[in-house]
Structure 1
Amino acid sequence: MITLNRDRVASTLPLVSVIIPAYNAEAFIEKTLKSVLSQTYQNLEVLVVDDGSQDRTPEIIQAIAQQDKRVVLLQQKNAGVAAARNLGIEKSQGEFIAPIDADDIWYPENIEKQVQCFLASDPSVGLVYSWSVDIDQDDVPTGIFRAAKIEGEVYVTLVGHNFIGNASASMIRRNCFDQIGGYNCQLKEQAAQGCEDWDIYLRIADVCQFRVVPDFLIGYRKIINSMSRDSTQMAKSHHLVMQAVRQRHPEIPTALYGFSSSSLYIYFAHQSHYFKDHKTTLFWLGQAIKSDVVTPYLRLGFYLLALQSILGLVLQLVRARVGVAENQSFKSKNIKNRLTLDDIKRKESAIKIKVLVGDAFHYFIPKLSRNKKIKLNYETVEGSALN
């Protein structure tokens, strides 16, 4: 591991361009920017793209930009998250691109550790990702986390499962975009936003290798009205992204797409369950079975979600009968019981299990290709744009 010497002049270190698309983000944009500007790695430019906000988002950004010259406000008519990210990348100058959504946060060492990983890696590595924890509106971890040690040639594994998990967990070598283009704006045009990050990860995996920083450095915010909660639109987005994958790689077996859809729908079920939407939870569990008639039954969580949702519906009916309103507050109820980031890190057994499952998935899923070679393009990148 390369250790950055903080006594060196900042300009001798690679410039990292942080790209933040923001639409009506006044509730959290200040927290997001504070987490970016507080990074231990300081050679940053921070391009915030206001995507036609109708609230105080641009005013908040401009006030912060007056205090820290690394922050630049760009504005456009509302065109969607993909167009906003593309504008930020177009106007940026950094060797590395670090996207983060306008309601997420980074813990202080995220950028430093991702840059370290890049500097210690081969030029064929185009993307580095970190582990993330879900947080609520108060920045408190919910207990849900993403941890994987999947590295190298990851394309087939990534088709089956977005192990990176969100758009705020990656750093991307700028030259990758020269090879693959920008984020897909057509998804918004087809009312199918939600998988722009998965799509870009897949296209990068087609030409580059991945590396991981095995540390919890991302706070991925989950609130009831966040875009990631629009499961129906995201399901359509996933379908369109996988259609494009089929066209590029017809050698990938059909079964993997069913597994991919099923895994996504179970993820939707978990999100609905967290917000006590029991009917929607059961709906997505049903969709998971329709997509893949085998693997859902092999997941213990599938049965737990189904049982808990059925019991939840029964309790709702009982409350309705006796006239007792259900508490719909999702705030952390007891300060003494609130989790911290250290609490997540101490879940060593759960982390090891998640990593082992991911490793097994990364090993066995490519075997579904039945020895058909997945035709990737690493040679092209290695010989040109990434040198």
Structure 2
Amino acid sequence: MPLVSVIIPAYNAEPFLERTLESVLSQTYNHLEVLVIDDGSTDRTVELVQSVAQRDRRVRLLQQPNSGVAIARNSGIQAAQGEFIAPIDADDIWYPQKLEKQVRVMLQDTSAGLVYTWSIYLNETGELTGGYKTSRLEGNVYFALIQGNFVGNASAPLIRRTCFDQVGTYNHQLKAQNAQGCEDWDLYLRMAERYPFRVVPEFLVGYRQTVSSMSRNYAAMSRSHSLTMAEARRRNPDAPAVVYRWSSSRYCACLAMQSSWCGDYQDSLVWMCKAIALDLTLLLQKQTYELLFKSALKQMARPFVSGMGGDRGSGLWAKRRVEMSRTGVSIAELNTRAVEETQPQSWYHTVQARRWQRIIEGASTPFPQGQQQG
């Protein structure tokens, strides 16, 4: 059985880290080493990890001055001894068969550089919100990955260790440029230039979303996206220019949703208008109008409802999230629903599917940087 190195960057992670470690150590695939990189925490993160490490020798604590998540992950990768690298953020969880199913795919397809899985969204107490992230994209995914980070989050992939030798590790320079937010996306793009991706189409990651954990530095996140895409375009100048415009539109829409979630309604309006200006197909989605209307209404009403929290039901997938929350849906039910969602559900999705089919058919080489390397 190949060793899997689990990498957990942790900064003041005391509220959620124990649950995260429990989910990792309870994996059905148990040939693991778990490296927790304390990034200069000032709470009880270190004591918590030391306590768990005394009970389970697979857990190892590394410590460094506060340097940011990219350097913390890179420190873990450097110290790792496993054939596969599995990052997870300190507030997320894995469901029991996550690593087992990903390792199985890796062993079946030795050319694959990264295997991802689907994510279900959790609230602060660990309950399902009903929101989720799915994708069935695999193989040469480079152009699709430019448009959006369909891998979803940093806790979803299992990565072949040898890939880092070819493409490098997480880009810590983004933090130095006050442009944090796209470190994982940047890495996935470099990997997709050389390696095929594979997917386990099941919900095996619990991705925790709380207002306190979300960055509200939207300008820095936008700058992170711009720098990441500029570097991708420099490496692959022949990629269709329209793909980068779609990517910018999609990212602005994500910032609009995030700012609405955090209660920053004026910012939400600004980012949504930028998204529409870059890609008019957003006007084919009724959720676009819902977000604009809700943000405008709440911004105007702010003096009268200043104590109201963020719009946690808003966004391009709001209706789906609310309906699922009301029914108390389980992960098994979500897996069933996701399998059934095979056809476009709106004009927007139909247009998206058609234009992406044209882009994929126009891809001239198996990989932008040539064939994958082992």
Structure 2 length as normaliser, TM-score? 0.88
Amino acid across the alignment from 2:105: C
User: How far does the alpha carbon of each residue in 1:335-358 deviate from its partner, in whole angstroms, 9 at most, with x for none?
Assistant: 986554245335348743579878
| Residue 102 of structure 1 pairs with residue 52 of structure 2 | no
CA contact (8 A) 1:62 1:73 kept: yes
In structure 2, the CA distance between the partners of 1:330 and 1:362, relative to structure 1 (3 Å rule), is closer
Other-structure match for 2:128: 141
Q: What's the offset of the Cα at 1:54? A: 1.4
Cα distance, 1:251–1:141 mapped onto 2, change above 3 Å? same
- 1:303 alignment partner, one of 279, 285, 289: 289
Residue equivalent to 1:5: none
Q: How does 1:18-97 map to 2 (within 5 A)?
A: 18-97=6-85
- What is the identity, as a one-letter code, of the residue corresponding to 2:368? L
Instruction: Return the match for 1:274 from 228, 250, 261.
Output: 261
Query: Between Structure 1 and Structure 2, how many residues are aligned?
Result: 361
Look up the equivalent residue of 2:190 and give its one-letter code: R
Map residues 221-260 of structure 1 onto 2, 5 A cutoff: 221-227=208-214, 230-260=217-247
- The match for 1:208 among 192, 195, 214 is 195
User: Aligned in 2, Cα 1:166/1:362: closer, same or farther, shift over 3 Å?
Assistant: farther
For 1:329 and 1:162, locate their aligned partners in 2 and report how far apart those are by CA, in whole Å.
23
Structure 1 SS opposite 2:117: strand
**Structure 2 match to 1:8:** none
User: Cα 1:130–1:99, aligned 2, differ >3 Å: closer, same or farther?
Assistant: same
Aligned match of 1:326:
308
- Please give the secondary structure, in 2, of the residue aligned with 1:27: helix
- Paired with 1:373 and 1:239, the residues of 2 have a C-alpha distance of 25
CA distance in 1, matches of 2:274, 2:163: 35
What is the CA-CA distance between 1:300 and the residue it aligns to? 2.9
Q: How do residues 92-171 of structure 1 correspond to structure 2 at under 5 angstroms?
A: 92-121=80-109, 123-171=110-158
User: What code does the residue aligned with 1:308 have?
Assistant: K
Distance 1:128 1:56, change over 3 A: same
1:378–1:39 distance in 2 versus 1, CA, 3 Å? farther
Alignment match of 1:366 (pick from 360, 363, 367): 360
Change (3 A) 1:65 1:349: closer
Alpha-carbon shift at residue 274 of structure 1 (Å): 3.2
Cα distance change on mapping 1:361 and 1:140 into 2, 3 Å: farther
Give the distance between the partners of 1:108 and 1:147, measured in 2 at CA: 19
Give the Cα separation in 2 of the matches to 1:130 and 1:361. Answer: 25
Structure 2 match to 1:313: 299
Where in structure 2 are there 5+ consecutive unaligned residues? 314-324
Determine the C-alpha separation between the residues in 2 that align with 1:375 and 1:337: 43
Alpha-carbon spacing, 1:329–1:268, altered in 2? closer, same or farther (3 Å)? closer
- The 8 Å contact of residues 127 and 211 in structure 1, kept in 2 or not, is answered as yes
Post-superposition shift, 1:375? 5.7
Offset of residue 118 of structure 1:
1.0
Q: Distance in 1 between matches of 2:367 and 2:332?
A: 42
1:316 positional shift = 3.7
Paired amino acid for 2:205: I
CA contact (8 A) 1:45 1:71 kept: yes
SS of equivalent to 1:125:
coil
Letter in 1 for 2:218: S
Cα distance in 2 for residues equivalent to 1:150 and 1:178: 24
**Distance in 2 between residues matched to 1:160 and 1:329, nearest whole Å:** 26
Distance verdict in 2 for CA 1:182–1:14, change over 3 Å: same
- Paired with 1:193 and 1:111, the residues of 2 have a C-alpha distance of 28
Task: State how far apart, in whole Å, the 2-side matches of 1:196 and 1:354 are.
Answer: 31
The runs of 5 or more residues in structure 1 that have no matched partner are 1-12
Tell me by how many angstroms 1:225 deviates: 2.0
Say whether the 8 Å CA contact 2:4–2:32 is kept in structure 1. Answer: yes
Q: Give, in whole Å, the separation in 2 of the partners of 1:133 and 1:230.
A: 24
Contact 2:260 2:311 in 1 (8 A): no
Tell me by how many angstroms 1:314 deviates: 4.4
Contact 1:140–1:338 (8 Å) recurs in 2: no
- Matched residue SS, 2:113: strand
Q: Measure the CA separation in 1 of the matches of 2:341 and 2:84.
A: 29
1: distance between equivalents of 2:364 and 2:173? 31
Moved more, 279-288 or 47-56: 279-288
Deviations 1:56-109 (A, max 9, x none): 111111111111100000011111111111110111111100000111111111
Describe the SS at the equivalent of 2:165: helix
Q: Return the letter of the residue paired with 1:70.
A: R
**What secondary structure sits across from 2:71 in the alignment?**
helix
RMSD: 2.7
CA deviation vs aligned residue, 1:308-342 (integer Å, no higher than 9, x gap)? 2223334445546xxxx4356979xxx98655424
Letter in 2 for 1:303: Y
